[in-house]
Structure 1
Amino acid sequence: MATQIKPRQIKLGAFLPGGGQHVAAWRHPGQPADGATDFEFHKQLAQTAERGLFDAYFLADGLAVSFGGGTEGGNAKVAGFEPVTLFSALAPLTTHLGFIATASTTYEEPYNLARKFASLDLISQGRAGWNVVTTGTEAAAYNFSLDQQHPHAVRYRRAAEHVEVVKKLWDSFEDDAFIRDKRTGQFFDTDKLHYTNHRGEHFKVKGPLNVSRSPQGHPVIVQAGQSEDGRGLAAATAEVIFTAHQHLETAQEFYRDIKARAIGVGRDPGHVLVMPGVSPFIGRTEAEAREKYEKLTALILEEDGLALLNGLTGGTLDLSGHDLDGPLPPTPPTEGMKSRQALIRRIADERNFTIRQLYQWIASARGHFTIVGTPVQIADTLEEWFENEGADGFNILPPWLPAGLDDFVELVIPELQRRGLFRTAYEGRTLRENLGLPFPANRWTRATARQAAE
């Protein structure tokens, strides 16, 4: 009997900062004002995401108070939980939901980062993911004994080597290294513990790591860069790529380019999942969805909108004295997020936005795709991108919480399920199993198997 091939289905991440995605979310009457540091609220969000059968709970992170816009006083992202710490507390309260935490290759050492994520992977029984970022802000540099941030190219060279070292450390113990035989007194097989012995441009790490492997081998690697350097790093190392696009055409170009690059470095393109960000304002009618969008837009403080815009264009754009109902002035070069600066510029030019209209539009998703519509309209858009080489799945950014997440779970997911585009039950217990990603065989086990075959 021929093996039945399971139809390809959409993968979904839930990007759920407790203070809400939108720059003014915390001011919404339905959003807890202290949600960013309310553990019980994060617990509620995680359990709702699991009820909706999301693959993972995703969190960004910054290493300075100015993360997400500025210090003008109206931004709930100014302070919150460190993601790995939060997810270590949430993991035992869930059973299938993955947890993708952001951590910086620029300001963390490979050994500490590898240890932290390996621990989360064990605590969650194989549901951890690492979102690899290079941290491109001057504000962060000032917190790590630097007078200015490292150049863009240097950050990405360091990132590539950093990921290489972390993956080596995660392979320190082979999967069956721990015997734990009380009768003989042998706790582990010393032949299955391996030193890292890495020497490179940025790092010198002997190893081995003092944490064992988890049921999924090692955490899923996620990356979000869209610049030339970012694409190269993602194609070579990432298993999930979080990306920002406003149009199917640009999403397709990115998708096809990443898959081709993956093939070029000997990887299976099916094991590199592209998941654009989508911020949905959901209404049972178009009018209701539009009302939700306009209600949240009206809560934006002008100074916070401008700070957000400055942060996303590289932190080099001084808009003081400019007519907010006039066009966006030229943006100076940046060593920060080059791809995001270019995207914001493109949004402004394509839509002929004024400065005010631009910060209102990006206030919810910071350059990711915003959809205002009914569950059917939103499902139509996701299906179009999914079926036409624009996406393997999506990272959903509810504008405010908990209602934005509740709306998606209660209204959009049933529509996707009705179309056969989304699961009705989890496929497995680990994040890899649910994403359809392969188990990464330990490099030392692979080497032994090759030697035996020869």
Structure 2
Amino acid sequence: MHLFAMPMGSGAHVAGWRHPLAADSDLHGIAHYRAIAEIAERGLFDALFLADAQGFRPVPGRDAFARLDALRMDPVTILAALSTATSRLGLIATLSTSYNEPYSAARRLATLDHLSGGRAGWNVVTSTTDHEARNFGRDAHFGHAERYARAEEFVAVARGLWDGWDDGAVAPDRATGRYSDPEGIHALRHVGAFFRVEGPLTMGRPPQGHPVIVQAGSSGAGLDLAARSADVVFTSHPSIDSAVAFYRDLKARVASAGRAPDALRILTAIQPIVADSEAEASAIAADLDALIDPALAIAMLEMQFAGFDLSPYDPDGPLPPIPPNNASQGSQQRIVAQAACERLSLIQIARQVAAGRTSRTVNGAPEQVADLLADWFAAGAADGFVIAAPILPDMLARFVDGVVPVLQARGLFRTAYAGTTLRDHLDLPRPAGEDRRAAKRPQPGFWSQQESRRPASPC
């Protein structure tokens, strides 16, 4: 199985930072992230996965209780720094296709891939809130269909830019004085519905060909986009049954898109509390949940529903019908389904969302946590797991030092890195770069075309 580490601020649980086991979290300093990356690499994880949003979402009336993960710095910059503190761990950055431009995004990710020796990944998101829109000159967020159409074109442009330099186009030759082969460098000249991009990039083709593409959308449009273009899908499910159904549906979509189902890895989020016994782990979980302010829990649930006001409804009553909105459709569907399936009251589902969103939680000794992962893996619920430790760095270290050895002893997880790139870890092929120099096309290369358009020199 594959394992990603996903640090959510100072822990995936909303109150993780308040627990005595939590370290003092300076989310503005690199030491916090370096400690997490070093633990994940010690555990032979495939990658470190950094979520992101470019808009601050205050909790109405409860700003003093705002989650620490609302404090988010640029993930590409953090991961570039971590590339020097790690040697094998994959480095996955979230970048929005709604509030970035394809050229700058492709360039930043290619730079990370070069600096890390082929360990970069891109979590493609379309953003979900008006808070981001208002930071980029818009009054409201793009509509659901429009943002996914934009995302599809964005990814296609980024891939075209990464392929703008042939493999081997950078070939420094001191004897001839030629650093690169002009015939191996190609403009993109893309003109589409959303973007016009000339290209090429200002650097050679990334070591992985393309950084690994990760996608987390779970609406119909998001799943179709993933089926056509993603290498990895990150998802979350509270039960094995919903995870298996999701896995089968998405793999079928991949096949319908003309790709081999095995071309896509599906990883689901798990929030583990690991202790010497199930009783001790459950006690830690109870302590964490007791630290959740009820008003904060309900406010966070409102955020999942695009700000829908829940104050008129009885907290001990059922979750009311949620009107259509422009927030993440997949997350909302999982919350509504979980509340109905488990017959949870409004405050109960709010507490669960605050504690771990819609991911599966598991409390127990290392063998018990490993049992759950093994069961889900064997049932075809996932190709691996995104470990969202509720308390950092303590619970990630407990997972690495306790659960990983059990998985290794059962033959379910690697005992050493077999390769150096993120694609190696995920057993994904490197996208083949077209060597257009070998075709010996009659038309000139990019730079020759530029020369042909220049006016004659007056000198």
- Give the TM interval when normalised to the shorter protein: over 0.9
| Residues 315-351 of structure 1 deviation map (CA, whole Å, 9 limit, x = unaligned) | 2321224332222222111111011111111111111
Q: Identity across aligned pairs (percent)?
A: 44
Question: How far apart are the structure 2 equivalents of 1:114 and 1:69?
Answer: 36
Aligned to 2:91: 99
**1:248–1:177: structure 2 CA closer, same or farther, 3 Å change rule?**
same
Does residue 352 in structure 1 map to residue 333 in structure 2?
no
Q: 1:396 aligned to 366, 370, 387, which one?
A: 387
SS in 1 for 2:134: helix
The Cα of 1:446 is off from its aligned counterpart by 11
**1:412–1:72: structure 2 CA closer, same or farther, 3 Å change rule?**
same
Does residue 153 in structure 1 map to residue 184 in structure 2?
no
SS in 2 for 1:364: helix
Q: 1:49 aligned to 40, 48, 51, which one?
A: 40
* Aligned 8 A contact 2:95 2:123 in 1: yes
Q: 1:371 aligned to 358, 362, 373, which one?
A: 362
**1:413–1:433: structure 2 CA closer, same or farther, 3 Å change rule?**
same
The Cα of 1:402 is off from its aligned counterpart by 1.0
Question: How far apart are the structure 2 equivalents of 1:393 and 1:77?
Answer: 24
1:250-261 correspondence runs (5 A):
250-261=242-253
SS in 2 for 1:363: helix
The Cα of 1:242 is off from its aligned counterpart by 0.1
Letter in 2 for 1:255: Y
Letter in 2 for 1:247: S
Question: How far apart are the structure 2 equivalents of 1:196 and 1:71?
Answer: 48
Does residue 282 in structure 1 map to residue 274 in structure 2?
yes
* Aligned 8 A contact 1:18 1:42 in 2: no
Question: How far apart are the structure 2 equivalents of 1:147 and 1:255?
Answer: 37
The Cα of 1:359 is off from its aligned counterpart by 2.0
SS in 1 for 2:226: helix
| Residues 228-257 of structure 1 deviation map (CA, whole Å, 9 limit, x = unaligned) | 001100000000000111222221221112
**1:68–1:11: structure 2 CA closer, same or farther, 3 Å change rule?**
farther
Mind listing any 5+ residue stretches in structure 2 that lack a counterpart?
443-459
Larger Rg belongs to: 2
* Aligned 8 A contact 2:183 2:436 in 1: no
Q: 2:157 aligned to 145, 149, 165, which one?
A: 165
Report which stretch shifted further, 198-207 or 422-431: 198-207
Question: How far apart are the structure 2 equivalents of 1:114 and 1:394?
Answer: 27
Superposition RMSD in Å: 2.0
Does residue 245 in structure 1 map to residue 237 in structure 2?
yes
Letter in 1 for 2:111: S
Question: How far apart are the structure 2 equivalents of 1:33 and 1:81?
Answer: 18
Question: How far apart are the structure 2 equivalents of 1:116 and 1:404?
Answer: 31
Aligned to 1:116: 108
Report which stretch shifted further, 22-31 or 107-116: 22-31
Aligned to 2:187: 195
Aligned to 2:450: none
What TM-score does the superposition give when structure 2 sets the normalisation length?
A: 0.92
The Cα of 1:174 is off from its aligned counterpart by 1.0
**1:218–1:401: structure 2 CA closer, same or farther, 3 Å change rule?**
same
Does residue 39 in structure 1 map to residue 39 in structure 2?
no
Aligned to 2:446: none
Report which stretch shifted further, 146-155 or 355-364: 355-364
Question: How far apart are the structure 2 equivalents of 1:424 and 1:442?
Answer: 32
The Cα of 1:227 is off from its aligned counterpart by 0.7
Aligned to 1:209: 201
Question: How far apart are the structure 1 equivalents of 2:371 and 2:136?
Answer: 46
Does residue 83 in structure 1 map to residue 75 in structure 2?
yes
Letter in 2 for 1:404: M
The Cα of 1:283 is off from its aligned counterpart by 2.2
The Cα of 1:374 is off from its aligned counterpart by 2.4
What TM-score does the superposition give when structure 1 sets the normalisation length?
A: 0.93
Aligned to 1:298: 290
* Aligned 8 A contact 1:23 1:304 in 2: no
**1:438–1:70: structure 2 CA closer, same or farther, 3 Å change rule?**
farther
* Aligned 8 A contact 1:70 1:308 in 2: no
Question: How far apart are the structure 1 equivalents of 2:231 and 2:190?
Answer: 23
Mind listing any 5+ residue stretches in structure 1 that lack a counterpart?
1-9
The Cα of 1:163 is off from its aligned counterpart by 0.3
* Aligned 8 A contact 2:60 2:299 in 1: yes
Does residue 22 in structure 1 map to residue 9 in structure 2?
no
Count how many residue pairs are aligned between Structure 1 and Structure 2: 441
Does residue 268 in structure 1 map to residue 260 in structure 2?
yes
* Aligned 8 A contact 2:62 2:295 in 1: no
Does residue 64 in structure 1 map to residue 55 in structure 2?
yes
Runs of 4 or more, structure 1, over 4 Å off, are 67-71, 444-451
